[in-house]
Structure 1
Amino acid sequence: MIGRYIWEISELRRSHHGLTLNELNERWERSSLYDGREIIRKTWYSHREQIASQLGIIIECDKRTNRYYIAYEDTIGRPDIQNWLLNSFAVGNMLMQGKDLKGRISYERIPSGYDYLTDIIEAMRENRIISISYQSYWKDEPSEFELMPYALKVFKQRWYLVGANVAFEGIRIYGLDRIKNIEITQQKFKMPKSFDVEELFEPYYGVSLVDGEVEKVRIKVYDNQAKYFRSLKLHESQEEIKTTPEYSIFEYHIKPTFEFEQELLSHGESVEVLEPAYLRERIKKRLEWSLEHYK
């Protein structure tokens, strides 16, 4: 049934002015999910209720036109998160209906850790401490510890758990794909009122938290690669401060992280770090070390 809900959400989202129930049924008859039965008003009412309760997406009706539409409300904390969910549903619906296109759609296989999302969200809602078995990349055996789950974050299609380890001070980040087991305990914790995961990561690129002040970073991007940076910002603070036919200069106000350096390096000869000087030197050293492997 979840596939049906995703299809209905996607169709409403594709329509610019909403859909009447008759128009929705016309699209339903052309869908690969069509089961020979039309969507009657009673069924549609039930589906709207389930979509609201299970997915947090409200479908309303314009009484003047009898058209149904998605109400972009702050139902789950942030409108941009709701938009992200809707985009995910739209892609899922497209792929689901493309099952007859075997051999023509390629999927990216990513270790996600989705198995533990439900438990983590349940623990977050009830502010309960969770017991975790976690396999770090840097250790041979899994570690066992208790964690206060504060938030979840997605970076490069991987999920990360943000929380406070009961045994240590400060916030820690854990990849869901490295979690071996989770148990929700009966112990409760007090969620800090001032905590906001978006504000926490605002000065960073990636999922690393580093000390220090926010710095001005400038990079020179050569040739057509600047178009890529314009279409997909590396960071919200990105500004294009100089544009020429040969290159563009982009400026950031950020705390440089390992992930940020890796992203710059991934663009190869198309990107040059201008400032700060220490970051320029560090990127230069990394490139020199990389060249050593080819000698």
Structure 2
Amino acid sequence: MTSDLFKRYVWLIDVVNQAGKLTYEEISSLWERSPLNEDRSPLALRTFHNHRYVVDKLFGITIACKRKGGNYYYLKDNADAKYSTQLKIWMLQTLSNSHALESEKRCRDRVLANDNPDEKFGLAAAIDAMEKNVCVRIVNSIPKTPEHLTEFTLEPYCVRFWGNSWYILGKIHGRKDMLVFDLSRVLNLEISNIKFNYDENFEPEKFFENYYGMDVDTELEPVTVRLRIGDGTRDLIRTQILHDSQKEVMADFDSSIFEYHLVPGEEFKRCILLMGDDAEVVSPQELRDEMGEIICRMSKKYTR
């Protein structure tokens, strides 16, 4: 497959995904204005259907047609496969962008990205172990338990991309507690020959719904948190939601109150602090008091 064809397939997936639904005529019109289409030629109907076929067979992403109401095309999804499809789209977009940067040398030094931690071990081996239902042996760079252990035999349950890193969630072999490992901080990861029985009732997306990011503590219960966000930040929070449970329950001319249902762990507290004086914990009182103590300790460091 040529890189140009690959980009065209990714472009088709991306425009349908972004729009939600499009007619063939709308897709063809977008193609005529695409920077990938240098001669501004229309997208032939036969070519369009051929692209749909290849996208389905090659990437496992189905662009279906809803004939009722105007022959609209959309990404076919079911509830179980939704996250998988979105992950495939993200990976394909990343690969396409990489191809674009390699080919467009004139613009390469004008496209900047943060350096990610070097992940020498983990993702491919973790996925392979999940496929085979075998444990992995992990050597972590920092202790992960009260016993200050750094070496583990882990039953891998899922992997997740969050905050520029890949993470693995699993059970310590022979124990019930779940642990999360940042693969960029793993010193070594090897597939073992120890089999384990994966709990088919485990739902990764549901497991994380009460947590912010990868800050997992199964001993804590979620609570309702209300934050007052100032006018300088609330538009950002509206478009880049902090958590799936987010609701804007009140809006004034200079601030809004957002409500969340989650476990307010350390990562969530750091997120609040990152917003500076544009964020205030309204409730619960325990979290408000804790944030106040953190801010007081910070203030003392600057008033010595």
> Which bin holds the TM-score, normalised by the shorter protein?
0.7 to 0.9
AA aligned opposite 2:262:
I
Following superposition, the deviation at residue 142 of structure 1 comes to: 8.7
Given the superposition, is the C-alpha separation of residues 105 and 262 from structure 1 closer, same or farther in structure 2, using an over 3 Å criterion?
Answer: same
Cα separation, 1, equivalents of 2:201 and 2:63: 32
Decide which of 120, 123, 127 is 2:126's aligned counterpart: 120
In the other structure, the counterpart of 1:97 is 100
Secondary structure of the 2:108 match is coil
Q: Kindly indicate whether the alpha-carbon contact (under 8 Å) linking 2:64 and 2:76 is maintained by their aligned counterparts in 1.
A: no
Cα separation, 2, equivalents of 1:90 and 1:179: 27
Following superposition, the deviation at residue 72 of structure 1 comes to: 2.8
In the other structure, the counterpart of 2:115 is 109
Cα separation, 2, equivalents of 1:81 and 1:147: 23
Following superposition, the deviation at residue 53 of structure 1 comes to: 6.5
AA aligned opposite 1:188:
K
Normalising by structure 2, what TM-score? 0.77
Q: Kindly indicate whether the alpha-carbon contact (under 8 Å) linking 1:9 and 1:89 is maintained by their aligned counterparts in 2.
A: no
Pairing 1:151–2:162 present: no
The sequence identity of aligned pairs, in percent, is 24
AA aligned opposite 1:72:
K
Secondary structure of the 2:280 match is strand
Alignment deviations for residues 222-272 of structure 1 (CA, whole Å, 9 cap, x no partner):
123111111111111111111110111111111111111110010000001
In the other structure, the counterpart of 2:42 is none
Count, aligned residues: 275
Following superposition, the deviation at residue 96 of structure 1 comes to: 2.8
User: What CA RMSD, in Å, does the superposition of the two structures yield over aligned residues?
Assistant: 3.5
In the other structure, the counterpart of 1:35 is none
In the other structure, the counterpart of 1:10 is 10
AA aligned opposite 1:225:
T
Q: Kindly indicate whether the alpha-carbon contact (under 8 Å) linking 2:119 and 2:184 is maintained by their aligned counterparts in 1.
A: yes
AA aligned opposite 2:186:
I
Pairing 1:243–2:251 present: yes
Q: Kindly indicate whether the alpha-carbon contact (under 8 Å) linking 1:6 and 1:90 is maintained by their aligned counterparts in 2.
A: no
Cα separation, 2, equivalents of 1:2 and 1:241: 50
Following superposition, the deviation at residue 9 of structure 1 comes to: 2.7
Cα separation, 1, equivalents of 2:64 and 2:222: 43
Given the superposition, is the C-alpha separation of residues 190 and 253 from structure 1 closer, same or farther in structure 2, using an over 3 Å criterion?
Answer: same
Q: Kindly indicate whether the alpha-carbon contact (under 8 Å) linking 2:133 and 2:196 is maintained by their aligned counterparts in 1.
A: yes
Normalising by structure 1, what TM-score? 0.79
Secondary structure of the 1:217 match is strand
Q: Kindly indicate whether the alpha-carbon contact (under 8 Å) linking 2:158 and 2:204 is maintained by their aligned counterparts in 1.
A: yes
Secondary structure of the 1:102 match is helix
Secondary structure of the 2:142 match is coil
Which runs of no fewer than 5 residues in structure 2 stay unpaired?
17-21, 40-45
AA aligned opposite 1:148:
E
